[in-house]
Amino acid sequence: MEIRHLLSFKEIVEQGSFMKAAQLLNYAQSSITSHVRVIEDFYGQPVFDRLGKRVVLNSFGERLYHRVLPLLAGYDDLCGLKNEVGEPAGQLRIGAPESTMLYRLSPVLQKYKSLYPKVELIMHNSTCPDMRGLLRDGSLDMAVLLDRMVDEDELICKPLFDEPMCVVLPREYPADELIYSPSHAVLYTEAGCSYRQIFQQLLADKDIKADNIIETASVEVIKQYLLCNIGVSFLPGIVVRKELSNGRLKAIPWKSLNPILIQIVHHKDKWISPAMKEFMRLLEEAALGWSSAVSG
């Protein structure tokens, strides 16, 4: 017994005759008759009563008809999936560091969800090395990393934007440059953070010993500590842009021939689904706006 046999059975019931069902399904009437015979042979009993030239659905046929309806509805749904292959849907797992997630991706996510509500976005916040590992083992579909470019055989990295970085100082800091200040802690992001190592090198270059340290995974916590005159840190400029403009914090811009970049990263063997492709497209569009804002 096959789906086509059940489809024929359904149409016979709904059209009221073998002939009308055959015309609708573009079968010869003998084919429709053979489809019903297959069903009856499978169950070992008739589904129609033959009353002279009339066929009438019997009690078993009634039971079968009501069982067949949800089955064929599911079959139609499966067939309809072919028309949805190009439509973004399903689950999309994206990794990003906290600062990028909060200050760069929010407008992208808002636009994406308004366009593609059928996509379930799962956002993962971690360090760049951790997210590379999750990309390699398939736990993430893609990541928006904030890091220097790293060549890896398994991963494809597309740079989008040179993120301006800076040493951030409290307003009450005793200098406009980085100095040893025993009353100010060194505010580190968590171990493994791409730009923590840069900050450590900056301190070493100035022979500043980091003997008073506070470490946290949250850039928002670091910003609050800066505002409370607790210490100094190294952050993406966008995190403290508002506080710099209103004079609540001050900063020393950082430049390098090997900058920190926002980049799209995914496994080289990963299928780029429609959902993933559209997220990348919107992200690239947004990055053009970030670049224009910086150059302007």
pLDDT digits (tens, 9 = 90+) for 32-57: 999 999 999 999 999 998 877 778 88
CA atoms of 235 and 222, how far apart (whole Å): 9
- Determine the Cα angle at 254 with ends 251 and 255, to 5°: 155
Cβ atoms of 180 and 205 within 8 Å: the answer is no
Least trusted range by pLDDT, from 11-15, 129-133, 144-148, 162-166: 11-15
At residue 144, φ and ψ (nearest 5 deg) are: -110, 95
The pLDDT, as a whole number, for residue 79 is 75
* CATH superfamily of the domain spanning 165-254: Periplasmic binding protein-like II (3.40.190.10)
Domain 3-84 identical in fold to domain 165-254: no
In the CATH hierarchy, which fold is given to the domain comprising 3-84? Answer: Arc Repressor Mutant, subunit A (1.10.10)
Strands 213-215 and 90-95: unpaired
Least trusted range by pLDDT, from 74-88, 147-161, 233-247, 262-276: 74-88
Q: Which residue has the higher pLDDT, 150 or 229?
A: 229
Mean pLDDT of the chain: 92
Torsion 91-96-98-104 (CA) sign: negative
Q: Where are the alpha helices (DSSP H) in 208-273?
A: 219-227, 241-245
Q: Please, which pLDDT band fits residue 78 given cuts at 50, 70 and 90?
A: confident
Cβ atoms of 228 and 117 within 8 Å: the answer is no
Average confidence (pLDDT) over 100-111: 96
Does the domain at residues 90-163+260-295 carry the CATH identifier 3.30.1330.10? no
Write down the domain spans for the chain.
3-84, 90-163+260-295, 165-254
At residue 290, does pLDDT exceed 60?
yes
